[in-house]
Amino acid sequence: MILGSILNPINSSMLAVALVPIGRWFHASPAHTAWLVTGLYLATAVGQPVIGRLVDTFGPRPLYLSGTALVGVAGLLGVLAPSLGVLIVSRVLLGIGTSAAYPASMFLLRAEADRTGMRSPSGILAALSISNQVIAVVGPTLGGLLIGAGGWHLIFAVNVPLSAACLVLGARRLPRRATTSSAAPRPGGGLDVMGMALFAGTLTAFMTFLMNPAWGLWWLLVIVAIAGACFAVRELRVAQPFLDLRVLGGNLPLLATYGRQWLAYTTSYAFMYGFPQWLQDSRSLAPSAAGLLLLPMSAMAIAVTALTGRRAEVRGKLAGGAAAQIAGCAALLAAGSGSPMWLLALIGAFVGVAQGLNGLANQNALYAQADPARMGSSSGLLRTFGYLGALGASAADAAFYRNGATTPGLHHLSLLLLGVSVLLLAGVLADRSLRRVGRT
């Protein structure tokens, strides 16, 4: 489970220091290379709930094995990519392939908890979170070292052995059948292909506009409005919707958790991709040095997760995470081409504290709030909202770095993220349902 769950974060974190070298290789601007981020997360935003639904229906084993196999294929395609467009296709395939491990893992945890009578496997949930944070530590540094050793192609090649290891371990260890005590057959088990298409079309049109906002592209917003309305109407009427909006409306605490995930990940991903680009373009650091400056961020995330992981209470974690996020975004406003290294490392440490607290707390909240029979799809949807945050972050980076990763662009990005962080803190303090999570 853990090895499969790291496939997405390792591809995310390594790319953070590779965007500038890839842009130079293909003579592309940050606004164009941002589609490498957008492509992966657009695929995962659609793929997570779809695969989560399939996990609930067919079990975790076949989806896990199929997804990890696709990761290997996507890695090979990235190594051989002759153009930026093909490289973006590789990232889309990576997004689909890495969508399987997390809902499969959450389903297996719920099945094992039902079998043993365990109330909340907080230790295992913490292990999943810590493993992702460890990879976030290794990813940028590993990416920088790989780029220095053989170019950016190696960050795609590393997926091949990882995929092979997941396939071998998954085939040997994953149970052929696993069910939760609340699992029950659902009528009309077919996939909502039309809902998927409308959702993907809405997101694609919206992201295309956000990546290059201009009056001449106003028609994209019309497509967003029409496709979004059709999507909502269909999902409220179809027997087995792609995204069950009725369930979201009837479970306000879970909906609030998804909203917090979206806000937290908007800031996290905007920093993870925007800060290294600024370090390389405006601070003239090598990819390996930029990766090293992200170590304090991920090291703090690991430490915070390890120290608080076994505590099921979430409200204090979320409030602390939002406060740390505000501090980090405010500190970014003081960053400049002459800023000392210790200040840049401190900024990353603040963001790391926020990552460690917010990620684990939202995961624990979902475990307490979601219907056990829908644990696979609910956990997949949690990741989807995180990826929606990543899509927003990608659009923000592209908009503010349209003419390069400049210091004014970084400061404008910081102001936006500061507003997002304040909204996150306000939402946490206003949600009274959080007081009950972990205390019953």
Residue 186 has pLDDT above 60, yes or no: no
Cα separation values, 3 from 6, 129, 334, Å: 6, 12, 38
Q: Could you read off the pLDDT of 308-358 as tens digits, one per residue?
A: 877 778 889 999 999 999 999 999 999 998 889 999 999 999 999 998 899
Q: How far apart are CA 319 and CA 422, in angstroms?
A: 11
Nearest-CA neighbor of 131 among 319, 365, 360?
Answer: 360
Per-position DSSP letters for 366-432, written without gaps between them: HHHHS-GGGHHHHHHHHHHHHHHHHHHHHHHHHHHTTT-S-HHHHHHHHHHHHHHHHHHHHHHHH-G
Could you state, in order of their start, the residue ranges of all structural domains in the chain?
2-176+242-436, 192-241
**DSSP per residue, 176-198:** S----TT----SS-S--HHHHHH
Confidence (pTM): 0.81
Crossing angle for the helix pair 252-281 and 30-58, to the nearest 10 degrees: 150
Please provide the CATH number assigned to the domain covering 2-176+242-436: 1.20.1250.20
pLDDT value at residue 184: 45
Give the mean model confidence (pLDDT) for residues 282-295.
88
Cα gap 248→71, rounded to integer Å: 31
Collect all residues with Cβ–Cβ distance below 8 Å to 99 and sequence separation of at least 6: 8, 43, 44, 47, 48, 50, 51, 67, 380, 383
The pLDDT of residue 185 is above 50 = no
CA 269 to chain centre: 8
pLDDT in tens, 210-256: 877 778 888 999 999 999 999 999 988 888 787 777 767 678 888 89
> What is the spatial distance between Cα 11 and Cα 238, in angstroms, rounded to a whole number?
35
Token pair of 97, please? 């392939």
Question: Whole-angstrom Cα distance, residue 10 to residue 20?
Answer: 18
Within 10 A of 150 (CB to CB), how many other CB atoms are there? 11
